[in-house]
Chains A and B, each alone.
Chain A
Amino acid sequence: MSTIDTAPHRPGPRAWAALVAAEGKMVVRDTAGLIIPLGLPLLILVMNGMGVFGEASVGGVSVFELYVMPLVLTIVIATVGVVNMPSFLAYYRRTHVLRRLAVTPAHPGMILTAQVVVSLVQSLVGVALAVTAAMLFFDVGVPDRLGAALAVFGLAALTMYALGLLVAAVAPTGNAAVAIGLTLFFALGATGGMFGPTDNLPAPLAAVGESLPFGAAVQAMGRAWADMDQNPAHLVAMGAAILVSTAVAVRFFRWE
């Protein structure tokens, strides 16, 4: 039996960078896939903006800052995390891209990381677009508690990626991943204020929606923007969603 002297070798930083670049090109070249994360938030911003601009404030706080901006940012991270990422992963699984990578030194875990990095960049571009437009056209200011807003945004983004990994893990096919992702997105969105203030919902439903990831993210970001103290329940809700989703995703994830 001949043996080899090869030391274990794991792909280095260049390989990680190459994989991130590859995933980035996949996303950028899938032009249709960019419309939703980048275009939809702008649309919602403009529609809501024209509705509430200049008139509404609650106790001296602009509705735009308390409600519209957090909603738009949450939509960005939720579409990227819950809808786009799992559909890419399911597509890779169906076409055996992951299987091909599994026989190279690239640990398939690198793919997940690259996906999250690329998703994060997409989210940041979407957010930058939305915030710039809001500042230019609707007179929205920087969040009153900038640090808190950034921290809450980061937590909310992680929550959405964790949900996305969960969808990718349990969906049997690429189509199912898109269907489950969209259903989850609209269910969370509807109970979390995407189609109008949660005050319009029946009280129990509004309460549930507020403790689900989408609603919790909107509420927590709104509070940071409008100089209000955080409600621990929102943060706990997002933390719990991250832990549960990640645990289930890791347990059920399949490379092929």
Chain B
Amino acid sequence: MDAIEVRGLHKRYGDTVAVEDVSLSVEAGEIYGVLGRNGAGKSTTVEAVAGLQRPDRGEVRVFGLDPRRDRNRLRQVLGVQLQDAALHAALTVRELVRLYRSFYRDGADPEELIEHVGLTGQRRTRFEHLSGGQQQRLNIALALVGDPRAVVLDELTTGLDPEARRHMWATVEGLRDRGVTVVLVSHHMEEVERLCDRVALIERGRVAAVDTPEGLVARAGLEQVVRFRTAAPFDPAVLDRVEEVRSVRTVGDQVVATGSGNLLHAVSTALVKADVVALDTRFERATLEDAFLSLTGSPFDDASGSER
């Protein structure tokens, strides 16, 4: 069952093509990551889902609703946290949560929600006096205030300190437990790896790949590395017949074996069989970031192109 469907989305601003051709289908209840570098078309895509952008071509459906034509029905069930959105500067946290709550037929209890995002101590503080991280937390609270069935979170944890970030991650996982569909636009690889059930890689306005985070890493076909030291001099022949191992090097007293598949287990087994005592065993595998680089063919932080 698809909660959100995007088919053949195309959007240009003047001469700049923001989205060339994007199709996504987000299943109900999953956390769906949208990953890509600045200017790849992530924000434009989710803004089309939120009904803020009118597609030049293509179709968007959220729970079967057209975000622009069925605006009044959609708004009750879709929560949105936008990048760079501001609120009434002179209103306090509590006033803003209550104001936004009043727009929805059903919704969260304002006090509980404020506590949930950790702003109880700031509930009488004006928006303009909150720190960046606190403003961000308030924005997330407001995306959730209408008890949405789906939420779009654009750069969820940008500007949050590590503790607040982990707290937000727990909040998003809690949404999944309640069956809420989440579309998460992110730059943060660890966040995507930890939270997302599936991830779409967007590159130059197109979908480069869609898979689970592990699937993307596997798809990139990057090698794993096992490093260890041995007390006695090591004979590399011990690993010769291990299928998963592709190469073995010794650097001083350190041994470096590269390969794929279940490499760590295969190497450990072979060492035990040969009665080799391995010390300081370390295992390195490709991260989502490595996979991203490999699948899109250029460095992630190369922020060429303007935002959206």
- Is this pair of chains taken from one and the same complex? yes
Partner of A4, one of B50, B99, B149: B149
A3–B210 Cα distance when bound, in Å, is 24
Q: Indicate with 1 or 0, residue by residue over A99-115, a CB within 8 angstroms of chain B CB atoms.
A: 11011111000000000
**Interface status of B196 (Cβ within 8 A of chain A):** no
Interface residues of B in 28-44 (CB under 8 A from A): 28
**Interface status of A2 (Cβ within 8 A of chain B):** yes
**Interface status of B294 (Cβ within 8 A of chain A):** no
A9 surroundings in chain B (CB, below 8 A): 72-73, 76, 104-105
A14 touches B82 (CB 8 A): no
Q: Indicate with 1 or 0, residue by residue over A58-81, a CB within 8 angstroms of chain B CB atoms.
A: 000000000000000000000000
**Interface status of A35 (Cβ within 8 A of chain B):** no
Please name the residue on chain A nearest to B65 by beta carbon. Answer: A4
Partner of A104, one of B2, B65, B100: B100
A11 touches B85 (CB 8 A): no
A18 surroundings in chain B (CB, below 8 A): 98-99, 102
A30 surroundings in chain B (CB, below 8 A): 90
B102 touches A4 (CB 8 A): no
A2 touches B2 (CB 8 A): yes
Interface residues contributed by chain A, number (CB under 8 Å):
29
A22 surroundings in chain B (CB, below 8 A): 88, 91, 95, 99
A103-B52 contact given A4-B77, A96-B82, CB 8 Å threshold? yes
Interface residues contributed by chain B, number (CB under 8 Å):
41
B64 surroundings in chain A (CB, below 8 A): 1-4
Please name the residue on chain A nearest to B67 by beta carbon. Answer: A103
Interface residues of B in 77-96 (CB under 8 A from A): 77-78, 80, 82, 84-91, 95
The minimal Cβ–Cβ distance linking A239 to chain B, given in whole angstroms, is: 33
Q: Indicate with 1 or 0, residue by residue over A101-132, a CB within 8 angstroms of chain B CB atoms.
A: 01111100000000000000000000000000
Interface residues of A in 20-68 (CB under 8 A from B): 22, 25-26, 29-30
**Interface status of B1 (Cβ within 8 A of chain A):** yes
A22–B101 Cα distance when bound, in Å, is 13
B90 touches A2 (CB 8 A): no
A175–B52 Cα distance when bound, in Å, is 25
Please give 16 more A-B residue pairs, beta carbons under 8 A apart, in addition to A4-B63, A103-B80: A2-B2, A3-B64, A9-B76, A11-B103, A18-B99, A25-B90, A26-B91, A96-B84, A96-B85, A100-B85, A100-B86, A103-B51, A103-B75, A104-B104, A105-B76, A105-B103
Q: A residues bordering B, Cβ < 8 Å?
A: 1-4, 6-11, 14-15, 18-19, 22, 25-26, 29-30, 95-97, 99-100, 102-106
List 20 interface pairs A-B (beta carbons < 8 Å), by A numbering: A1-B5, A1-B64, A3-B63, A3-B65, A4-B63, A4-B77, A4-B149, A8-B72, A9-B73, A9-B76, A9-B105, A26-B89, A29-B126, A99-B52, A99-B82, A103-B52, A104-B75, A104-B146, A105-B72, A106-B103
